[in-house]
């Protein structure tokens, strides 16, 4: 009886998965057809249905960005291109279309130059993905075990020396790889980018309407969220300027 019930549950799960996939494929096809016919509102509606069903893919976000770009909607197009880029960071088409959309923004922000040491550190940190550094750490742990067994099993001083040095080096590399994986995870968690959706918003020195505006931001500008207080968010620009804006004037990129 239990076995029969298990088979029924598995069959229903497979059927539901197939049905969901077929439904999403149908929506994607309808969205693509609507986009090619210039019916961008319909295309956006279909793509949003796919997102509501829980399917978050670079292709869906990229096509949403394209549809909003065709409607000259700056903030949504940049927002969806940026989300697509988070899922597929090396895609040249996404990067190219994002640059076109960013050219429509009003705020010209020059990023602060990075010190050489910080730049080298980030290049090392992101040379591999989090999983890549973790797998490298596992590899060196296994190598450490093999080298240490060689050290224990060797009868000659030279082989023992090679085994000992190899085990120590591989252990050190395992620790470094694991640390880099953790540090990249922390960097990802601390990185909270957002896109301004308000057509124009004053950035204030304090989280209230009574404080004096420090400067203005316009739709499509990318900011970094540093802190939050009630309905306010503290943001920072690439040039180091920071302040507070209402939370409903922007949308976080990592809200998958």
DSSP string for the chain: -HHHHHHHHHHHHHHHHHHHHHHHHHHHHHHHHHHHTT-HHHHHHHHHHHHHTT---HHHHHHHHHHHHHTT-HHHHHHHHHHHHHHSTT-HHHHHHHHHHHTT-S----PPPPPHHHHHHHHHHTSS-HHHHHHHHHHHHHHHHHHHHHHHH--SHHHHHHHHHHHHHHHHHHHHHHHHHHHHHHHHHH--EEEE-SSEEEEESSSSTTSPEEEEEETT-EEEEEEEETTEEEEE-TTS-EEEEEGGGEEES---
Structure tokens at 177: 């790889």
| Superfamily (CATH H level) for 193-252 | SH3 Domains (2.30.30.40)
Residue 224: CB atoms within 10 Å: 15
Give the full edge-to-edge strand order of the sheet including 232-236: 213-218, 200-204, 242-246, 232-236, 222-229, 193-196, 250-252
Return the pLDDT at 171: 96
Q: Which sequence spans correspond to the domains of the chain?
A: 2-102, 116-190, 193-252
Return the pLDDT at 19: 37
Return the pLDDT at 24: 63
pLDDT, one tens digit per residue, over 163-208 is 999 999 999 999 999 999 999 999 999 999 999 999 999 999 999 9
Same fold, 2-102 and 193-252: no
Return the pLDDT at 249: 97
pLDDT, one tens digit per residue, over 202-252 is 999 999 999 999 999 999 999 999 999 999 999 999 999 999 999 999 999
Closest by Cα among 49, 53, 54 to 63? 49
Structure tokens at 19: 């049905």
Topology classification of domain 2-102: 1.25.40
Return the pLDDT at 4: 53
Give the span between the Cα atoms of 187 and 63, in whole angstroms.
28
Lowest mean pLDDT among 1-5, 98-102, 138-142, 220-224: 1-5
């Amino acid at each position: 009886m239990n076995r029969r019930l298990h088979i029924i549950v598995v069959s229903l799960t497979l059927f539901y998965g197939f049905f969901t996939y077929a439904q999403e494929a149908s929506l994607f096809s309808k969205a693509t057809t609507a986009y090619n016919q210039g019916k961008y509102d319909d295309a956006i509606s279909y793509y949003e249905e796919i997102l509501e069903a829980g399917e978050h893919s670079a292709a869906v976000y990229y096509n949403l960005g394209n549809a909003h770009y065709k409607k000259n909607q700056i903030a949504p197009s940049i927002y969806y291109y940026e989300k697509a880029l988070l899922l597929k960071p090396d895609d040249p088409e996404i990067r190219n279309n994002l640059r076109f959309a960013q050219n429509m923004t009003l705020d010209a922000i020059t990023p602060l130059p990075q010190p050489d040491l910080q730049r080298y550190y980030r290049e090392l940190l992101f040379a591999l993905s989090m999983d890549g550094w973790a797998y490298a750490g596992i590899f060196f742990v296994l190598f450490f075990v093999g080298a240490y067994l060689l050290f224990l099993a060797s009868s000659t001083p030279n082989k023992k020396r090679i085994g000992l040095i190899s085990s120590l080096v591989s252990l050190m590399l395992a620790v470094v790889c694991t640390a880099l994986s953790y540090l990249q995870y922390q960097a990802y968690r601390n990185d909270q980018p957002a896109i301004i959706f308000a057509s124009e918003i004053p950035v204030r020195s304090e989280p209230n309407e009574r404080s004096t505006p420090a400067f203005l931001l316009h739709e499509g500008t990318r900011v970094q969220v540093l802190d939050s207080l009630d309905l306010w968010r503290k943001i920072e620009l690439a040039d180091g300027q920071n302040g507070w804006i209402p939370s409903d004037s922007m949308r976080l990129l990592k809200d998958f």
